[in-house]
Structure 1
């Protein structure tokens, strides 16, 4: 069984964390490498308009593997300096990769997203979940801190106060609370989750792909840049997409009151 399963559809790639018997942990380098490879392939392929990330079985991701936290196992080295290297060269590659992606990623959170699993969902651009989902920034409950970037990610999604409450209590929140707090944009029944994610992906894929990717890139860059910097970057991106055939097609279709056809050029 592959640890990460990749399914290619019409303009949409679905990536499934595929260790359901272990609740899809993501702390091992083999899983991280497989996930990074799948994301990189989707990003390079301009025919891929959107990516859906979900988990096999009843969990989205349990985060770290608690059975591999003894010295010399998993991310924990025999010395603190080794542990630092393990995090930097291991799970910390994930948030950096997600931040650099141009292709939009939709998290379809099918069940518990715990610790690094919660942070993995926050790395995605859009999050929807099933009514069975729960989210927990639970590192503190096992005597740890968010080692995968959660302290940067979570406040940007739910705000400082709620992120601090989640991180310092380690308490889990249910799907409806996640919706109320803005952690997800939609809650659906479990058997409707993938169809709902596919519908969002299809709506994204219907737009001019270069404009979609540059809009995603602009939103990411704007998280930390000054207004002046974002305006300059926006002008540069706008100049690029003004020259595309898809832009001309969109304008023509609007004026002619017909459905546009985009080919990415």
Structure 2
């Protein structure tokens, strides 16, 4: 049975694994509503007596290309109140107690990288790319990435990703510990499901308790970090460099930044 959460999130079950799908192709841009509905789907799986693990996957070319800052009808693109609302919904993802395996078939950029990193594990196709491209927008990282990414791959590699904005290929991401396995695209969802079933076959109370211990303080840290990130983003959003960064990304060129 398939359940729908808003227009772009669906959920099904496969034995003891809940499968949640983001369906806003081709780029699966985040919005306040998309993350809200994603949180609802994950919370429903969390509340189920049946689901012992979750697979998070996406339709389209990209896993999630972050926020579409060029849209005039999107709350995140319009202003920082929308970003604050996005982060309120994002905090709900960190509160989920059921383990989550992400199947990353393409780009995970900006907030999309934040979403992938919020999961417990990431299985990637060779075509997957990972980027914290905020500085290319004249912006500050968000979605708690300044806490979660160093926690996952170490401070130095996270610092490199933040200050260069470069895209990390799947094989390099594997070497860094950013992903747990790289498999051919056609085998991606099967590999994610295999890992999810391996987790789900264990004693569920022990899995949840162990995960809670290993992720102790993550929810509180993510909330605090998003507040700090929002403060810096608010300052930078008012700059000429931010306006130029949005234009440059949309025009697929390097930004001509002037430092004001």
TM-score (norm 2): 0.78
| Structure 1 Cα separation of the partners of residues 14 and 219 of structure 2 | 34
- Map 1:106-117 → 2, pairs under 5 A: 106-117=101-112
Please tell me whether residue 42 in structure 1 is matched to residue 36 in structure 2.
no
| Structure 2 Cα separation of the partners of residues 75 and 93 of structure 1 | 12
What is the aligned counterpart of 2:180 among 173, 177, 185? 185
- Map 1:60-139 → 2, pairs under 5 A: 60-68=63-71, 73-77=74-78, 83=80, 85-94=81-90, 96-139=91-134
| Structure 2 Cα separation of the partners of residues 77 and 24 of structure 1 | 18
CA contact (8 A) 1:101 1:217 kept: no
Instruction: Give 1:99 shift.
Output: 2.3
| SS of equivalent to 1:20 | coil
Aligned residue-pair number: 215
Shift in alpha-carbon separation, 1:224–1:7, aligned structure 2, 3 A = closer
Instruction: Give 1:178 shift.
Output: 0.1
Structure 1: give runs of 5+ residues left out of the alignment: 226-265
Instruction: Give 1:73 shift.
Output: 4.6
| Structure 1 Cα separation of the partners of residues 94 and 146 of structure 2 | 15
- Aligned counterpart, 1:234: none
Structure 2: give runs of 5+ residues left out of the alignment: 1-5, 221-260
| Structure 2 Cα separation of the partners of residues 146 and 171 of structure 1 | 13
CA contact (8 A) 2:75 2:83 kept: no
Which structure would you say has the larger RCO, counting Cα contacts within 8 Å and 6 or more residues apart? 2
- Aligned counterpart, 1:204: 199
| Structure 2 Cα separation of the partners of residues 132 and 155 of structure 1 | 23
| Structure 2 Cα separation of the partners of residues 91 and 215 of structure 1 | 26
| Structure 1 Cα separation of the partners of residues 78 and 131 of structure 2 | 25
TM-score (norm 1): 0.76
CA contact (8 A) 1:92 1:147 kept: no
CA contact (8 A) 2:16 2:52 kept: yes
| Structure 1 Cα separation of the partners of residues 74 and 93 of structure 2 | 26
CA contact (8 A) 1:133 1:174 kept: yes
- Aligned counterpart, 2:240: none
CA contact (8 A) 2:69 2:76 kept: no
| SS of equivalent to 1:46 | coil
Please tell me whether residue 150 in structure 1 is matched to residue 145 in structure 2.
yes
| SS of equivalent to 1:157 | helix
- Map 1:231-246 → 2, pairs under 5 A: none
| Structure 1 Cα separation of the partners of residues 15 and 163 of structure 2 | 42
CA contact (8 A) 2:94 2:218 kept: no
Instruction: Give 1:222 shift.
Output: 6.3
